[in-house]
Amino acid sequence: MEALEHGYREFTDLLREEDLHELALKYGAAEQRERKLPIRIFFWLMVLSAGQSTVRGGLFQLVAFFVGALTQLFPIGQAFSLSKMALSKRMSRTSWFFFRAVYNRLLSSYKKHLPASEKKLLIRFREAVIFDSTVTRVAAALETCFQSVHKGQAAVKLHVRFSLKNLAVDKVQATHGKRHDSRFRGITRQSGILYLFDLGYFAFARFQKIIDAKSFFVSRLKSICDPLILQVQDKKWQHLVGCRLSQITDRLKKDQPLDVRVKLSKAQKPSFDYELRLVGLFYDDHWRFYITNLFQTTFTPQMIYDLYRQRWAVEIFFNEIKNILHLEHPISRNKNGIMVEVYSALIFHLLTRIVIALAAQKTNQPVETFSFSRSFDLLKAFLSTHLGEILRATQMTLIYFLQHLVEAVARMGLKDRPALLL
């Protein structure tokens, strides 16, 4: 219980007016004139707007949402006047680095103080991350900044490094839609990290960095890659040594997984000369091949496949961020505004994850047993009905608010249990 109380205080402290103002000053986001919309109010309304399905249709809907919220916060005659032009300027001129700084502070505390996922497959690794990207269409006026693969359109590609243990993004990069995934960087020098990525991130240079850092990876094998078999796990496959994968595929037995050591490069003097492990399993009428540097026999081919399947978590995240948090069509017409919208949605997503983690800690249940969409709806309802209290509150009031929210998620945020078969 003491740890839970510490968690309440830790996160409410990061969202106090003083802390937000400090970050706003640091990143040049603080208002210069009193009649302007205060940064703390602009911040909370942008975050809350990320959860409102009606305000993503266009700038007018967003202005209407802001005006409606402001009339609840201030008496008649004292509310801040707002127009489409004023809000558009505020979004374009308020540095998105301020929103990123708030997100990073929350994420840092989230990682330090709250329970992470306890999936058995991930226990052996310090961290497990996924590289992936998603494309979101933006206003056509941004075509020069965010080129799309479709002529006459504009699109922003969000490259993310997604933590499987925390179910949250710890690195984001927004580029034009035509940028290739392979240019995204996210390998750290820390050891013991598991990296999972799809074919778009398949690159010898990336493998090299991971191996040099004493970390691990699992990736699908590119179809154009024809590795040379160097060693086999089972002696009955000894005759395969010295063959290329393409030469033996027809001889593989569908009920027996392939597990061999290989070299990927065909060059006489390759720049990447490491031995790797190739595993193959027959699923859905075709072979699936994966390349990894996990050589321990405790990681069976089936376990390698199961590790790679954890990539589905980032697809769930993209669905949450684009459909539940309505980031499918950002409305801003400049890069800064786009990034403000992106980080507003990411902050709302992270706040939901924090509340879920607190509820899991309160109930001693795994975070996976809680529904993101239900917890999100509860957080949105609490924020919408208590926005004025949050903006004017002392820390004790914020703690009281968070306690009630966590209690609601602990009671109503669980996923439905599967129906028992009779």
pLDDT 10s digits, 371-405: 999 999 999 998 888 877 777 666 677 788 888 89
Is a pLDDT exceeding 70 seen at residue 32? no
Residue 214 maps to a domain: no
For residue 161, give every residue at least 6 positions away whose Cβ sits within 8 Å of its Cβ, in sequence order, or none: 129, 130, 131, 169, 170, 171, 172, 186
Number of domains in the chain: 1
The pLDDT score that the predictor gives to residue 80 is: 59
Domain that holds residue 31: 2-109+335-412
Residue 348 maps to a domain: yes
The pLDDT score that the predictor gives to residue 15 is: 78
User: Across all residues in the chain, what is the average pLDDT?
Assistant: 84
Tokens of 323: 């459909």
Is a pLDDT exceeding 90 seen at residue 30? no
Residue 387 maps to a domain: yes
Query: Which single residue is written with the structure tokens 């492990």?
Result: 277
Query: Which single residue is written with the structure tokens 């699992």?
Result: 218
How far apart CA 108 and CA 106 sit, in angstroms, is 6
Per the CB < 8 A criterion, the answer to whether 351 and 110 are in contact is no
The pLDDT score that the predictor gives to residue 157 is: 87
Q: Tens digit of pLDDT for each residue in 90-104? A: 888 899 999 999 999
Q: Tens digit of pLDDT for each residue in 138-162? A: 777 676 777 677 776 778 888 999 9
DSSP state of 400: H
The pLDDT score that the predictor gives to residue 209 is: 92
Least Cα distance to 209 among 227, 225, 230, 193 occurs for 193
pTM of the predicted model as reported, rounded to 2 decimal places: 0.89
Can you give 312-381 as a three-state secondary structure string? Answer: HHHHHHHHHHHHHCCCCCCCCCCHHHHHHHHHHHHHHHHHHHHHHHHHHHHHCCCHHHECHHHHHHHHHH
Is a pLDDT exceeding 80 seen at residue 14? no
Task: Count other C-beta atoms under 10 Å from residue 345's C-beta.
Answer: 24
What are the backbone dihedrals phi and psi of residue 216, each rounded to the nearest 5 degrees, phi first?
A: -135, 160
Residue 368 maps to a domain: yes
The pLDDT score that the predictor gives to residue 184 is: 79
Beta bridge partners of 290: 220, 279
Q: Tens digit of pLDDT for each residue in 68-85? A: 777 777 665 555 567 888
Residue 99 maps to a domain: yes
What is the average per-residue pLDDT within 106-119?
A: 80
Residue 6 maps to a domain: yes
What are the backbone dihedrals phi and psi of residue 173, each rounded to the nearest 5 degrees, phi first?
A: -140, 125
Residue 13 maps to a domain: yes
The pLDDT score that the predictor gives to residue 77 is: 53
For residue 359, give every residue at least 6 positions away whose Cβ sits within 8 Å of its Cβ, in sequence order, or none: 370, 375, 406, 409, 410, 413
Residue 12 maps to a domain: yes
Task: Count other C-beta atoms under 10 Å from residue 262's C-beta.
Answer: 19
